[in-house]
Structure 1
Amino acid sequence: MVIKLTTEAHDRIAAAIAAAEARTSGEIFCVLAGRVSSYRDVSLGWAAAAALILPLSLIPLGFEAAWIPGFGDSWEAAHLAAREVSTGQALGAYAVIQAVVFLAVYLISRIPPVTRWITPRAVRRARTRQAAIQQFLAHGLHVTEARTGVLIFAALVDHQVEIVADEGIHARVDQTVWGDAAEALSRGLKRGDPAGGFEAAVGLCGEVLAGQFPPGSSNPNEVADRLVVI
């Protein structure tokens, strides 16, 4: 998924970060991702389950190989041979049905809205959290002087928002306080205004940091004030 934000949108977010950091020694960084996972394993799981379970419903209906063209038109030479051929044909036809069900369910499950719907929320949240932590480390938010880095992360396709705060903040700030910032970003994304969502989230995170981590005498800018789009 290609994400395009205007230069003006990037500038607005950068200005919001600079304004928030002017009141605190903390560092705020923003990342906007298209998706954090393909969830192909989830689709394969659903397809496999459907292939195993759905064809079973045909058995009470008296499933026969003849239901599948090309599987039930062999000549029968003797009673015993006919029974063996019939069993083999039925198993072959059943395998074909399983393969068709597997492929159909897998292809349907790869449609983005369907993928999101069939993927448990806990799985999407866990993978978003993992991706956010990777970005937190990749951009050096874990090596600020006072360990007061905060990452604001959003995944558009996954419909997930995550805020990651470094260990210097954990000791003094209840993690539930980030809920308002996450909700503000979610609202901005829902209305198609990611820049506005990030601005609001940055402002709220800045208020939390300002209350616990006021700026020092020098207050260096250890992390670039910008939004990264991946």
Structure 2
Amino acid sequence: MKPEDRAKVAAAIKAAEAKTDGEISTIVAASSDSYGDVVFVAAALVALLPLAVSAAWPGVLESGAKLLTGGWEEPTLRFMLTLLTIETACLFLIAWAVFRIAAIRTVLTPAAIETRRVRRRALMLFRTGTEQRTLSKTGVLLYLSLAEHRAEIVADAAIHSRAPQEAWGEAMAALIAALKDNRPGDGIAAAVERIGAVLAEHFPYTGSDPNELPDRLIEL
């Protein structure tokens, strides 16, 4: 994020919290997970190709083994199994290295898995960084995960009881619209403004609730 984006978000948080006893936290993460399990499974499936080919067409393995022996003698079963093991291991290592590339890993990862991982990370960050630090339990987290192009809004139970999840629709729409134009700072600031409006409606400013969360954008 650029310095001007951080400044926009900080100003938006201060302006929003001036009208409510609620607390707003904003976090941007490069990614919500390494997706190592997805890479491993995909590489393992590729590594199974030699086994599948050998099972379907046994002659392919034998022909390959004969080429390696120069064709002067029939390859032994041990030699062919060793060759098959080496092929499987090499394919796995190559596929694992290729699938670890961020762009390829993103294509391989199902959207449902990305959604669950982003949600899980948002909840974890909310519980450790927002929920545990507001005595009045009136905190809201706006979480943006860049690699997955996904965002989450998580609110404390006290807020959720008065403002259902649908109340954050305008905030999410404003964020997504700006992100499509490659304006993350504007999008987060606009979302914070709308979150503040919801909080001001249900938890108006009384002056009795201290400012317990940093009024700035947190980058992970």
For normalisation by structure 2, the TM-score amounts to 0.87
**Aligned Cα root-mean-square deviation (Å):** 2.3
Distance 2:172 2:102 in 1: 23
Of residues 26, 35, 57, the one that matches 2:22 is 26
* Moved >6 Å (runs of 4+): none
Number of the residue aligned with 1:48: 44
Identity %: 36
Q: 1:123 Cα deviation (Å)?
A: 2.0
Q: 1:54 Cα deviation (Å)?
A: 5.6
Is 1:73 aligned to 2:70, yes or no?
yes
Is 1:88 aligned to 2:81, yes or no?
no
Distance 1:64 1:53 in 2: 12
Number of the residue aligned with 2:121: 131
Q: Which moved more, 1:139-148 or 1:108-117?
A: 139-148
Distance 2:72 2:50 in 1: 30
SS of aligned partner of 2:69 = coil
Q: 1:182 Cα deviation (Å)?
A: 2.5
SS of aligned partner of 2:151 = strand
Q: 1:166 Cα deviation (Å)?
A: 0.8
- Structure 2 matches for 1:169-208, cutoff 5 A? 169-208=159-198
Distance 1:60 1:141 in 2: 57
Q: Which amino acid aligns with 1:125?
A: T
Instruction: Return closer, same or farther for 1:28/1:96 CA change in 2, 3 Å cut-off.
Output: same
Number of the residue aligned with 2:147: 157
Number of the residue aligned with 2:35: 39
Q: 1:68 Cα deviation (Å)?
A: 5.3
Listed one character per residue, the Cα deviations across residues 103-152 of structure 1 (whole Å, up to 9, x for unaligned) are: 23212211212111211222222222222233223434434232110010
Number of the residue aligned with 1:12: 8
Q: Which moved more, 1:166-175 or 1:133-142?
A: 133-142
Q: 1:70 Cα deviation (Å)?
A: 6.7
Listed one character per residue, the Cα deviations across residues 25-54 of structure 1 (whole Å, up to 9, x for unaligned) are: 111010111112211121011111221246
Instruction: Return closer, same or farther for 1:87/1:68 CA change in 2, 3 Å cut-off.
Output: closer
Q: 1:217 Cα deviation (Å)?
A: 4.2
Distance 2:154 2:102 in 1: 26
Where in structure 1 are there 5+ consecutive unaligned residues? Answer: 77-81
Distance 2:198 2:169 in 1: 11
